[in-house]
Amino acid sequence: MAEIAPVRKVAVVEEEIKLKAEEVDLQRAAKLGGVAGLVAVFVSANGMVQAFAERAIISPILSMGYALLFLVPLVIGYLAAKEPPVREGFEAPKKGPRNVVAGLLVGVGTAVGLALFVLVASVVNLRPVFLNVSPELLELLTFGQGVGPGLALLVVACVVLGTVGGLMRLVPDRLRNALWGGLAWTLLIGLLEVVVAQLFRGLGLGFLEDIFYAPLGGLTLTGALVVFVLAFLYYYTVVPRVDAWRANYAQLPAERQRSFRLGALVAVVVIVGLLPQVLGPFVSEVLDLVGIFLLMGLGLNIVVGFAGLLDLGYVAFFAVGAYTTAVLTSPASPRWSPELSFWLALPFVILAAALAGIVVGTPVLRMRGDYLAIVTLGFGEIARLLLLSDWLRPYFGGAQGILKIPNLSIGPIVFRTPVDMFYPILGFCLVAAYISWKLKDSRIGRAWMAMREDEQVAEAMGVNIVELKLKAFIVGAIIASFGGALFAVKIGSVFPHSFSLLVSITVLVLIIVGGMGSIPGVVVGALALVGLPELLREFQEYRLLAYGVLLILMMLYRPEGIVPSKQWMRELHEEELMQDAWLKMEEERRRQAEAQAAEGKPAGQPGEA
């Protein structure tokens, strides 16, 4: 029936060499086991386990302390049981007992570490050196059963959890993601009891609080189960479809996409706007603080993320904003008190911040990288020390600061409570986000990017380096000064000690963790790094430790941040993306070959005729 003999499409069945699959590296697992043991001992000996034991996550059975301790073998066991990445020419790895053994090894490592620690600590008094190794801690670690049976229990728990971590590798992807999702949400909802309970009350669903949370704190068993099941179902049924939705969305015409995005934005703003009403004063207080740090994060993101100028003294601009507001609005300003309103003072705040930007920016124009970081670090400290100094005490009040800063008001509306203050803060955040968003794709944003990439070449293209660096410092300074101004009116007073190096560090860490150059990233970073420690007070003491650990982990596993900008993402994961593309291509080719093979057989006969 076919006049032309079909071209032999099928015959190209490539004789591919497949090397034997690489196996899970047990030596690495054993090493990780050692690491897990050390980590477990470390969090016990530095007091975290005991400090966190007060807070229940699931009422009688699981405290935050135990959760921290037992996540160690579980998570590290899971990591250790990961198969090596598939390389071209190798068979796909088979899952099997080796994964479980890897997890088991980590469990054993953790158990050995903790057991040795408990044994040593119960014989020798370690307290002169390790203050936190208290009898209470040992009791916690042995579940109050005494060293003998308690230790056995601890060992069994660690080994079992490590093995479970390994077993998770054998579970199909979809189920596994759902299990982890369920676990993560259960822990999170348990931790965020204050917020969630408030939410229930605020929404008039107070009865839910009694069902979900135990009277002494923590989720009830029912509550935990419900949360777990809901999260599990979400990850099992909804999340796998997100890709398909996204593909559908991408196919929508551009206008509809735009209106869709606009709608989503409005919805988010409305929900966020209603939050403080529902959540009440305590949580609003935390939200206000998150908002102020978010504002500064957005500003620093311009300086560091866009222009590539590592500024470690960003707190100086925050202080300038706060003190300018204080001097201009407070009747208690020591030397000169014009008692302006916040809004009349604002132009002067902007002016002062711009000046401060120039003052800090000018001397560091010719510096880059590490040198810039150190010098700006110095500027940050200078700002604080000047405010504290006797020399400027007549103007800024020295250590006593400036008190009686009046509340913010617009006409008859006065923003008194934390709930009220949320709105101006949100407003300024939106302004800052809009400015960042506009700048990012502008001519000046482009030039910043080029300058970040290669200063000399950018200069040879005609970019005025001096002007651009100053502009970056000035814009960053102004946004930080908004944060400072709001901080001053919110607290009602300013003191030099509010402007420590820690502020600069927190802002920097939150943009690194969230994702440099990405605006949603800054939001997530602010919530996680400022909001969480405020809500979980026992966390405060370990805040810096947590930042450090978080930074190291981020650099190792997700250098682009939690919500990365597309730019960074592409650049950091080029290799992986390429590998993904290659795997997809292979898959596609195989499928085609199969399809053709299926067609090919009947098609082959007319060819012979």
Partner 1 sequence: MNDKRHPVLQLKDVNTHYGPIHILRNINIEIYPGEIVCLLGGNASGKTTTLRTILGMVKPSAGEIYLDGERVDGLPTTEIVKRGISMVPENRRLFKRMTVLENLEMGAYLRNDPDGIKEDMEHVFELFPRVKERLHQKAGTLSGGEQQMVAIGRALMARPKVLLMDEPSMGLAPVLVEQTFEIIQQINQHGTTIFVVEQNANMALSIAHRGYVLQTGRIVLADTAQNLLNNEMMRQAYLGEM
Residues within the interface to partner 1 (CB under 8 A):
443, 446-447, 449-450, 453-454, 456-464, 567, 570-571, 574
Find the Cα–Cα–Cα–Cα dihedral 490, 494, 496, 501, rounded to 10°: 10
Q: How far is the CB of 363 from partner 1 (least distance, A)?
A: 19
Q: Name the DSSP class of 400.
A: G
Q: How far is the CB of 461 from partner 1 (least distance, A)?
A: 5
Find the Cα–Cα–Cα–Cα dihedral 406, 408, 413, 414, rounded to 10°: -50
Q: In this complex, which beta carbon is closest to partner 1, that of residue 574 or of residue 599?
A: 574
Q: How far is the CB of 459 from partner 1 (least distance, A)?
A: 5
Q: Pick the closest to residue 107 from 163, 62, 57, 171 (CA basis).
A: 163
Q: Using CB atoms within 10 A of its CB, is residue 19 exposed (0-12), middle (13-18) or buried (19+)?
A: exposed
Q: How far is the CB of 573 from partner 1 (least distance, A)?
A: 12
Q: Which helix (H) or strand (E) holds 214?
A: none
Q: In this complex, which beta carbon is closest to partner 1, that of residue 409 or of residue 567?
A: 567
> Three-class SS of residue 175?
helix
Q: In this complex, which beta carbon is closest to partner 1, that of residue 462 or of residue 602?
A: 462
Q: What separation in angstroms does the CA of 95 have from each of 73, 101, 162, 168?
A: 20, 11, 17, 11
Q: In this complex, which beta carbon is closest to partner 1, that of residue 339 or of residue 571?
A: 571
Q: In this complex, which beta carbon is closest to partner 1, that of residue 22 or of residue 459?
A: 459
How far apart CA 36 and CA 108 sit, in angstroms, is 9
Q: In this complex, which beta carbon is closest to partner 1, that of residue 449 or of residue 535?
A: 449
Q: How far is the CB of 450 from partner 1 (least distance, A)?
A: 5
Contact 187, 55 (CB under 8 A): no
Q: How far is the CB of 351 from partner 1 (least distance, A)?
A: 27
The backbone torsions φ and ψ at residue 62, rounded to the nearest 5 degrees and listed phi first, read -135, 120
Q: In this complex, which beta carbon is closest to partner 1, that of residue 65 or of residue 361?
A: 361
**For residues 534-547, b (16+ Cβ closer than 10 Å) or e, as one string?**
bbbebbeebeeebb
Q: How far is the CB of 452 from partner 1 (least distance, A)?
A: 8
Q: In this complex, which beta carbon is closest to partner 1, that of residue 574 or of residue 580?
A: 574
The 3 state secondary structure assigned to 125-173 is CCCCCCCCCCHHHHHHHCCCCCHHHHHHHHHHHHHHHHHHHHHHHHCCH
Q: How far is the CB of 445 from partner 1 (least distance, A)?
A: 11
